[in-house]
């Protein structure tokens, strides 16, 4: 399965939304046992998720993952015990801060289950290179709102962008997919598109969503514009027309191999 662009959260205690989430167009659906579920509702939400996944068609299983409770919470071990027999293809661990936490999750779910650690704290960011290189990790995700809370930041800005780019570098260094950007609290699709464009400029390749209407905005932001696609096609045509001579000119600007490869990537993304 190619790298997903959109991850749609669904509260684990809202069973009536599970099927709707699968039909909303998101690449992946995250059934949430953490922030979206009150402590008193966590046992029933866990049961709901287990029953729904057990009845899920095999073709849909790769699209579904579960965000379990963090390793420091009183619900962590219960989540592992209940969900591990289901044969999940991926699990998201919030507030990931150590390799030992990831190893415990992998021990419970097996090597076939991909891990998606959420970086949401200073400790998580300090350990991010180790987390990205941990066996079983598919890609990292950035919980920007929790990170800002942990550092007592007033909101978006340089400190948040610094953390974001650090996560991007860790993923690239570990040779895993570009990380997943955090949620946009506003449902407004234009705001979501703006946030995704900013995250893309920092090196992110996907985004978490909290409402079905946000999904299309994420996909739109990650799709090359008509202008950039036309430029990329001109570069490819000129490059191949020159038999890859090493340096050509397109639109009055020099094009060498890195520019050619960038153009190729844009065309591939459009496809």
How do residues 142-180 score in pLDDT, each as one tens digit? 999 999 999 999 989 999 999 999 999 999 999 999 999
Cβ(86)–Cβ(50) below 8 Å: yes
Same domain membership, residue 67 and residue 181 = yes
Predicted local confidence at residue 124, as pLDDT? 98
Q: For residue 28, what is the domain's CATH number?
A: 3.20.20.60
Same domain membership, residue 247 and residue 119 = no
Under the banding of pLDDT at 50, 70 and 90, the label for residue 223 is confident
Same domain membership, residue 183 and residue 241 = no
For residue 224, pLDDT over 60 is answered with yes
Same domain membership, residue 146 and residue 113 = yes
Which of 24-28, 49-53, 73-77, 245-249 has the least mean pLDDT?
A: 245-249
Predicted model pTM? 0.89
Predicted local confidence at residue 17, as pLDDT? 95
Under the banding of pLDDT at 50, 70 and 90, the label for residue 269 is confident
In a domain, 254, yes or no: yes
For residue 226, pLDDT over 70 is answered with yes
Same domain membership, residue 232 and residue 102 = no
Same domain membership, residue 97 and residue 30 = yes
Predicted local confidence at residue 216, as pLDDT? 96
Same domain membership, residue 190 and residue 232 = no
DSSP 174: T
In a domain, 1, yes or no: no
Q: What's the angle, vertex CA 133, arms to CA 130 and CA 138, rounded to 5?
A: 125
In a domain, 77, yes or no: yes
Which of 169-183, 213-227, 233-247 has the least mean pLDDT?
A: 233-247
b (16+ CB within 10 A) / e for 35-72: bbbeeebbeebbebbbebbeebeeeeeebbbbbbbbbe
Same domain membership, residue 150 and residue 264 = no
For residue 222, pLDDT over 50 is answered with yes
In a domain, 56, yes or no: yes
State the residue range of the domain holding 155. Answer: 6-222
Please say which residue of 222, 239, 261 terminates a domain.
Answer: 222
In a domain, 99, yes or no: yes
Predicted local confidence at residue 1, as pLDDT? 41
> What is the tens place of the pLDDT at every residue in 56-98?
999 999 999 999 999 999 999 999 999 999 999 999 999 999 9
* Mean pLDDT of the 25-54 span: 96
Same domain membership, residue 145 and residue 239 = no
In a domain, 130, yes or no: yes
Same domain membership, residue 99 and residue 30 = yes
Same domain membership, residue 231 and residue 187 = no
Specify the number of domains making up the chain. 2
Same domain membership, residue 154 and residue 252 = no
21, two tokens: 């989430």
């Amino acid at each position: 399965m190619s790298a997903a662009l959109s991850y749609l959260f669904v509260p684990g205690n809202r069973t009536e939304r599970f099927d709707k989430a699968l039909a909303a167009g998101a690449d992946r659906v995250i059934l949430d046992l953490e922030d979206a579920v009150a402590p008193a509702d966590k046992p029933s939400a866990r049961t709901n998720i287990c029953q729904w996944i057990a009845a899920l068609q095999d073709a849909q299983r790769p699209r579904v993952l579960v965000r379990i409770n963090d390793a420091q919470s009183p619900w962590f071990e219960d989540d592992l015990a209940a969900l591990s027999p289901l044969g999940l293809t991926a699990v998201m661990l919030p507030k990931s801060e150590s390799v030992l936490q990831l190893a415990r999750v992998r021990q419970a779910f097996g090597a076939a289950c991909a891990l998606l650690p959420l970086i949401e704290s200073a400790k998580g960011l300090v350990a991010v290179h180790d987390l990205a290189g941990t066996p079983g990790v598919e890609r990292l995700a950035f919980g920007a709102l929790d990170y800002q809370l942990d550092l007592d930041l007033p909101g978006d800005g340089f400190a948040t962008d610094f953390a974001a780019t650090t996560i991007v570098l860790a993923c690239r260094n570990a040779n895993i997919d570009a990380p997943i950007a955090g949620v946009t609290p506003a449902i407004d699709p234009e705001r979501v598109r703006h946030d995704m464009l900013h995250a893309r400029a920092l090196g992110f390749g996907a985004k978490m969503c909290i409402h079905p209407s946000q999904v299309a905005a994420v996909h739109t932001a990650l799709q090359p514009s008509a202008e950039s696609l036309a430029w990329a096609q001109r570069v490819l045509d000129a490059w191949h027309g020159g038999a890859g001579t090493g340096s050509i000119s397109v639109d009055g600007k020099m094009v060498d191999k890195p520019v050619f490869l960038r153009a190729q990537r844009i065309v591939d993304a459009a496809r």
